[in-house]
Chains A and B, each alone.
Chain A
Amino acid sequence: MSRALRGGRGLLAALLLPVLLVAAWWVLTADSTSFYLPPLHDVFARFPEVWTPERIRLDVVPSVLRLGAGYALALVIGVSLGVAIGSARRLRAFVEPVLEFLRAVPPTVLVPVFMLFAGLGDTMKVLVIVSGAVWPILLNTIEGVRAVDGTLSETCRCYGIHGPARLRHLVIRSASPQIVAGMRQALSVAIILMVISELFAAEDGIGYLLIQFQRGFAIADMWTAIIVLGLLGIALAMLMRLFEWRTLRWYRGLREAQRGRS
């Protein structure tokens, strides 16, 4: 098959089912009188009414900013702690059971706890996001740092590569596949916590809007909010993929080479 044909087929494969599903949704609900499932046409019609630029500024932006802040903080804490713990065997053994317990607590359950400390504002929401998103990053970083190759490590010692240089060139790069896997899991957790923290106790945000619409029985509006959240999740997942694709190019190549050789 020629490259153009193959590309065309790929595009078709990517779009066919989603388009079909949306079309089916449209058609099947067209005459819907169900309370919970309004015609998709109506939902789409509500979009420009509900998601005005003002609304976006007042609700979407704060949500995304909180998400970003929480995620960034979780990344910094997770990687730095992870490197520290992963490099010191004693420390790791010391800390492992505690971490194992703390990470098993469902992060949503900490929302009431954080409400005690931090009230209802942005701090609380960011804290909630951090408290959940940090775990996949931290644990994966520990795992990745732990598994740094011994021969590579000795090579660094021989050539006098120590300290910050070693951290940069050896440790973090070597652990990057694991770290990025953790970052991906952390992203889903962060989005969930962002929504939860806004469902619970908030004055603005996409989650806040979602629950407001539901309480006010503005069903079509509620569906638009669900769709917006879905789109947000998809967009961020794609960004994550792009990031991963670029930073782990070497890793993909390495694995393929090994698979080819065995």
Chain B
Amino acid sequence: MTTTSQDTTGGRRAGAETLLEVRGLRKVYDGRVEAVRDLTFAVSRGEFVCVVGPSGAGKTTLLKCIAGLLPPTSGDVVLEGSPVAGPPPGMAVVFQEYGRSLFPWMTVRQNVELPLKQKRLPRDRRQELVDEALAAVSLADVPGSYPWQLSGGMQQRVAIARAVAYEPHILLMDEPFAAVDAQTRADLEDLMRSLWHRMGVTTVFVTHDIDEAVYLGQRVLVLSSSPTVVLDDVAIDLPVERDQLTTRSSARFAELRAHVFEQVRRAKRERGR
């Protein structure tokens, strides 16, 4: 049974300015494997949107298409009014494999500074941004270290600092905390929330962890398994101030979580898995 994208305006805040629009995104690999069938949704400026779905649901494909790293077979990705043909300026990406996304021959500071050099910012401004970003992720004391001298969690913080220092209009994160242990993950999740609070960066956060998606997001987009469509767009009406302990044990959290979980399970069943 094929499904098409549901109406996805449920979660969006009324009257907000649209930053990112994805219309009818379709991606077929090698002319045969239809990874993504039809994705349509929009993201407003300043929103924190989580994308969740069963494994193999084309979440990474979606992110790569938004990031301009992968050309879609059909459909559009429109960022700030312009269609995305290649990686657009004003966008930062944080990958899951932090070990491979940081340059091992550069120090932490140099890693964070590199994209800023590319932006041709003057040295003082670069210095400022780097210091701010490293302080924001609590890594102000290791600017001279090399990434491989740091733990996994710290490396991912460096990647986040780099993204944040870049002052992007939109931040894409591809399962960034999947390869990190549970305690570090909790810290990093809170870090993301606080960064988002302070800087108000529009964020699209892809994850397979339903709890994480509900904890972090203002909206959760639930994807089906491939060929992928948007199954649901859930508004997360949890309080703005969230806390690992209290929020996660609240009743509303449990409801939302169960709702998303049910969607994902249904998606898996429909696919016949």
Find out whether A and B make contact in their complex, taking CB atoms under 8 A apart as touching.
yes
A159-181, CB < 8 A from B: 159-161, 165, 169-170, 173, 176
Could you tell me if A158 and B92 are in contact, using CB atoms closer than 8 angstroms? yes
**Contact between B87 and A157 (Cβ–Cβ < 8 Å)?**
yes
**A257 contacts B by Cβ under 8 Å:** yes
Evaluate whether A257 and B114 lie within 8 angstroms (CB atoms) in the complex, with A154-B95, A155-B95, A158-B69 already known. no
Please give me the residue from chain B that is nearest to A151 by CB atom.
B100
- Chain A residues 176 to 222 lying within 8 A of chain B, measured CB to CB, are 176
CB-defined contacts of A158 to chain B, threshold 8 Å: 67, 69, 87, 91-93
* Interface membership of B34, Cβ < 8 A: no
The reply to whether B115 and A159 contact each other, CB–CB distance below 8 Å, is: yes
> Is A169 in contact with B89, judged by CB distance below 8 angstroms?
no
Q: Does B196 contact A (CB under 8 A)?
A: no
Q: How far does the alpha carbon of A152 sit from the alpha carbon of B100 in the complex, in Å? A: 6
What chain A residues lie within 8 Å of B67 (beta carbons)?
Answer: 158
Query: What CA separation (Å) do A184 and B243 show in the bound complex?
Result: 56
- Whether the pair A258, B87 counts as a contact (CB closer than 8 A) is no
Task: Give Cα A253 to B104, complex, Å.
Answer: 9
Q: Is A251 an interface residue (CB 8 A)?
A: yes
Q: Of residues A165, A170, A250, which shows the largest number of chain B Cβ atoms within 10 Å of its Cβ?
A: A250
Contact residue among A161, A250, A254, A257 (Cβ-Cβ distance under 8 Å from B118): A161
Query: In the complex the two chains form, is B114's CB within 8 Å of A159's CB?
Result: yes
A250 to B103, CA, bound (A): 10
User: Does any Cβ of B come within 8 Å of A149's Cβ?
Assistant: yes
CB of A160 within 8 A of CB of B89, answer yes
User: Chain B residues near A170 (CB, 8 Å)?
Assistant: 103
Q: Is the pair A151, B103 in contact by a Cβ cutoff of 8 Å?
A: no
Chain B hits for A157, CB < 8 A: 68-69, 86-87
Beta-carbon contact of A253 and B101 below 8 Å: no
Contact (Cβ within 8 A) A159 B146: no
Count how many pairs of residues, one from A and one from B, have CB atoms less than 8 Å apart in the complex. 63
CA distance A251 to B119 in the complex (A): 28
Give Cα A250 to B67, complex, Å.
30
On whether A250 and B100 interact (CB within 8 A), knowing A157-B87, A160-B87, A161-B115, the answer reads no
Q: How far is the CA of A150 from the CA of B97 in the complex (A)?
A: 11
Interface size on A, residues (CB 8 A): 22
Distance in angstroms from B173 CB to nearest chain A CB is 12
CA of A126 to CA of B265, assembled, Å: 71
B261 contacts chain A at the CB level, 8 A cutoff = no
How far does the alpha carbon of A215 sit from the alpha carbon of B91 in the complex, in Å?
A: 73
Q: Nearest chain-B residue to A173 (Cβ)?
A: B105
Q: Is the CB of A253 within 8 A of B146?
A: yes
Candidates B86, B89, B101; contact of A155 at CB < 8 Å: B101
Is B166's beta carbon under 8 Å from chain A?
yes
Minimal Cβ-Cβ distance residue in A for B69: A154
Q: In the assembly, what is the distance between CA of A155 and CA of B176, in Å?
A: 14
Within 8 Å of chain A (Cβ to Cβ): is B148? Answer: yes
Residues from chain A with a CB closer than 8 A to the CB of B101 are 151-152, 154-155
Q: Interface digits, A102-115 against B, CB 8 Å rule (1 contact, 0 not)? A: 00000000000000
B residues neighboring A (CB under 8 Å): 67-69, 86-87, 89, 91-93, 95, 97, 100-101, 103-106, 114-115, 118-119, 146, 148-149, 166
Interface residues of A, Cβ cutoff 8 Å to B: 149-152, 154-155, 157-161, 165, 169-170, 173, 176, 250-251, 253-254, 257-258
The 6 closest A-B pairs by CB, nearest first: A159-B115, A151-B100, A257-B148, A250-B105, A158-B93, A254-B148
28 CB < 8 A contacts A-B: A151-B97, A151-B100, A152-B100, A152-B101, A155-B93, A155-B95, A157-B68, A157-B87, A158-B67, A158-B69, A158-B87, A158-B91, A159-B87, A160-B87, A160-B89, A160-B118, A160-B119, A161-B114, A165-B118, A169-B103, A169-B114, A250-B104, A250-B106, A250-B146, A253-B148, A253-B149, A254-B104, A258-B148
